[in-house]
Amino acid sequence: MSSIEIKNVSKSYGGVHANTNISMSIPSGKITGLIGPNGSGKTTLFNSVVGYHPIDSGSIQFKGKEISKLRVQEIARLGMLRTFQQTRIYSKMDCVRNMLISIPHRTMQWHEMLKPFTPELTEKAEHLLEFVGLYQKRHLISGDLSFGQQKLLEFAMALMNDPEILLLDEPTAGINPTLINGLIDRLLRANSEFGITLFVIEHNMRVIMNLAESIYCLAHGEMLAHGTSDEIQNDKRVIDAYLGAH
């Protein structure tokens, strides 16, 4: 069963065709990768899916429901979350508070907004911070953490929201190479233990080959190739696109 179904999506900025007739299907419960050279339209596609900007044509469905006309918050409340390429956290609050406010807002009623946070939520926040290795620093102001740690915090915040699907925009960019293996492991566990569908943009080939079962490759805003990691690795068009022969 597919979680996200993208059909013939096009998006251009002025004269630049960022996405042309893109179609893809993200299977539920799996990890799907999206690769492509710089400027190939990966982040534009992400932004279209999460409702950040309207698309020019085509259709995007989430669990069978058309979402291409919905706004960012409405899509997030359906259970589809994204993380940002330039990490975004609430930089003046400590880590625990960053986590607490990331609880699901799907069913939030007025009177619930005026309630304090329960000890159970704090416990859940601490568990997840431990999961990403930030437990010790949980009472520090998040803006003072290193870039890599902020990235881990953003990932933990996304998990706190209990999403059905998580769109990760370059989760390992800027992270210390020795920490990357740990992050890959955590992404795999988020998928297998928490049952979260992952859709990942990644530049690091080693990372994406280890993570994703199915990989899409974009180039110049168009779909270049689709296949398993082995197929993609040996696809001449993909290699050409990355080496600039295209």
Partner 1 sequence: MKKETMLQLGILIFGVIAPMLIPSLSFQISILWLMILFALTWDMMGGQMGYNSLGNIAFFGFGMYICAGVQVGLYYDLAEYTSPFTTINATFTPDQYYTGLFLGIIAAAVGCVFIALILSTFLFGLRGPYFAIGTLGVALAAGELIGAWEYIGAGSGISIPVHPGEAGEKTQLFYYLTLFAMIGTFLFVKWLYGTRWGLAMNAIRDDEEKAEAMGIHTYRYKSMTWAFSAFFLGISGALFGNMTGFIEPLEVAFPTVTFGIFMVAMALLGGKGTLWGPVLGATLFHVVKEVTWTYLLGWQWVALGLLIVLNVVFFQEGIMGWMARKWPERFGLSVDSHMSRSKQSEEAS
Query: Which residues, including other chains, have CB under 8 Å from residue 144's CB and lie 6 or more apart?
Result: none
Q: Which is nearer to partner 1, 72 or 239 (CB)?
A: 72
**CB 46 to partner 1: min, Å:** 11
The order of strands in the sheet holding 165-169 is 80-82, 165-169, 197-201, 31-35, 214-219, 222-228
Q: Which is nearer to partner 1, 69 or 206 (CB)?
A: 69
**CB 210 to partner 1: min, Å:** 26
**CB 86 to partner 1: min, Å:** 11
To which residue do tokens 């190479």 refer?
A: 177
Q: How many CB atoms lie within 10 A of CB 160?
A: 22
Q: Which is nearer to partner 1, 161 or 233 (CB)?
A: 161
DSSP state of 117: P
**CB 80 to partner 1: min, Å:** 9
Q: Which is nearer to partner 1, 49 or 215 (CB)?
A: 49
Q: What are the residues binding partner 1 (CB under 8 A)?
A: 50, 72-73, 76-77, 81-82, 84, 88-94, 97, 100-106, 108, 112-117, 126-127, 130, 135-141, 157, 161
List for the chain the helix, strand, coil content (%; round to 5): 40, 25, 35
Distance, in Å, from the CA atom of 113 to the CA atom of 156, rounded to the nearest integer, reads: 22
Distance, in Å, from the CA atom of 72 to the CA atom of 46, rounded to the nearest integer, reads: 12
Q: Which is nearer to partner 1, 25 or 122 (CB)?
A: 122
Candidates 226, 203, 202; CA nearest to 216 is 226
**CB 138 to partner 1: min, Å:** 7
Q: Which is nearer to partner 1, 8 or 91 (CB)?
A: 91
Sign, CA dihedral 101-102-104-106, equals positive
**CB 244 to partner 1: min, Å:** 33
